[in-house]
Structure 1
Amino acid sequence: MKKQPFNVVYEDNHLLVVNKSAGILVQGDKTGDKTLTDYCKDYIAKKYNKPGAVFLHPVHRLDRPVSGLVVFARTSKGLERMMELFRKRDIHKVYWAIVKRKPRVKSGKLTHWLVKDEKRNVVTAHDHEVPGSQKAELNYKTLGFMNDHWLIEVRPTSGRPHQIRVQLASMGCPIRGDVKYGFAKANPDASINLHAFNLVFVHPVKKEKLFLRAAVPEEEFWEQFLEFEEIKAKDQHLDNTFSG
């Protein structure tokens, strides 16, 4: 049975937030494959019986082999305000990554300067600023060990292409399945074990705080790590400070 390209996590007149399956493009590329944006436009058109073009724009992207939360704007006002939240870094993102090698330090902050080779679609991380580089920062914490792999929680404070993938690889912990950044072998479905798990932000129109969670992919390997998810009545993620 073919897996669904996405599941709806949150929806109102202004936003559509979905849990993307690994292997789906968010926006078009040279492959010409059907994109998450296309699938979501079809969903909106069918659900609301909308003839003609549907206004729906992704506010950010996830790499094709990555699963998890993607935010779409359904109105131009929603798009403009969500873009501003991302620009100001008022969106708090939590990812889960599974790696084979134990991080040398259990938790910490990584800072690199990234350079993207557009032709090869590969990003290189540098310890110091170099010409054409963009600064990338993330906080990480090792959550636990299972089945010969380590689960890492990652909270990026910037949103650079391939950032989490190349930064974890730079500390000797390439993500499971990510042969592009040094993992030994690919996953059978060409996914990598990186999942956009949580998003926290204030709704751009309603001004309510949203705490969104995307279930991990429905497969045994991913689901075994759910025992490391801490459930608290007053979750620290809801705190405005969100220091990570």
Structure 2
Amino acid sequence: MKKPFNVIFEDNHLLVVNKSAGILVQGDKTGDKTLTDLCKTYIANKYNKPGAVFLHPVHRLDRPVSGVVVFARTSKALERMTALFRKREVHKVYWALVKRKPREETGKLTHWLVKNPEKNVTTAYDKEVPESKKSEMTYKRLGKLNDHWLLELRPVTGRPHQLRVQLASMDCPIRGDVKYGFPKPNPDASINLHAFHLVFIHPIKKEKLFLRAALPEEPFWEQFLEFENIKSSDRHLDKTFSG
């Protein structure tokens, strides 16, 4: 049984974990145990805390996605982290595996997204339509292995299913993502989208945090580890791409 999460960073204000694919961040109608519940239990046990533990996720990852998730351990940290995300002062980097090669080596995608909450599916439009939200991301091809391309994604906005639907609208659905057009699911129901890096200024201590979530311990992902060296060299300062 793989662990639902690993701790990446922890202090009195924040808990940052690497979430396994398949774990919900917050509750939904399935009633399944969530990452938030599991992390509260972890804090309660580690610090022998009686009573309710204050712990709130400051952003979300979709259930089939793996990678870095930030929790606030105090109301002050929650308020400030929420503001950082809202003001887009959190620098996010994802890795995705796709079967089809994007035509350009690097590019920027801009769409207007509309979410259907009943069906839990998002539709991308090339122009503004009623109820839509503008969504932007940049991508870069990092290389190819076993018939799949590794892309580095940098979302500018943070919309539900944004990266999944924007790549699909470029005819490059993410491996395993049958909801957005990949022909077959992954055996473990995950999709090959991983939240790899977050860079932001600590909400209380004001120092810059470089947080990195290791790739899932899963054979298909692990073959792409050789690309790790490309990016460990550049420390992902600000807006640079790895490599």
Show CA shifts across 1:207-231 (max 9, x none).
0100011000001210111111214
Deviates more, 1:99-108 or 1:222-231: 222-231
Q: How does 1:75-114 map to 2 (within 5 A)?
A: 75-114=74-113
Provide the alpha-carbon RMSD of the alignment.
1.0
Matched, 1:145 2:153: no
Shift of 1:106: 1.4
Aligned to 1:224: 223
Aligned to 1:129: 128
SS in structure 1 at match of 2:236: helix
In the alignment, the residues of structure 2 paired with residue 100 and residue 194 of structure 1 have an alpha-carbon distance, to the nearest angstrom, of 13
Aligned to 1:179: 178
- Give the number of equivalent residue pairs: 240
In the alignment, the residues of structure 2 paired with residue 26 and residue 35 of structure 1 have an alpha-carbon distance, to the nearest angstrom, of 5
Matched, 1:61 2:60: yes
Q: Which runs of 5+ in 2 are unaligned?
A: none
In the alignment, the residues of structure 1 paired with residue 236 and residue 79 of structure 2 have an alpha-carbon distance, to the nearest angstrom, of 25
In the alignment, the residues of structure 2 paired with residue 84 and residue 6 of structure 1 have an alpha-carbon distance, to the nearest angstrom, of 25
In the alignment, the residues of structure 1 paired with residue 3 and residue 152 of structure 2 have an alpha-carbon distance, to the nearest angstrom, of 25
Q: How does 1:160-239 map to 2 (within 5 A)?
A: 160-229=159-228, 230-233=230-233, 235=234, 237-239=236-238
Shift of 1:238: 2.5
Structure 1's consecutive aligned runs of 4 or more residues displaced over 2 angstroms after TM superposition are none
Does the CA-based 8 Å contact 1:211-1:238 persist in structure 2?
no
Matched, 1:11 2:10: yes
Aligned to 1:71: 70
In the alignment, the residues of structure 1 paired with residue 122 and residue 166 of structure 2 have an alpha-carbon distance, to the nearest angstrom, of 10
In the alignment, the residues of structure 1 paired with residue 201 and residue 235 of structure 2 have an alpha-carbon distance, to the nearest angstrom, of 16
Tell me the percent identity. 78
In the alignment, the residues of structure 2 paired with residue 152 and residue 40 of structure 1 have an alpha-carbon distance, to the nearest angstrom, of 30
TM-score by length of 1: 0.97
Q: Which runs of 5+ in 1 are unaligned?
A: none
TM-score by length of 2: 0.97
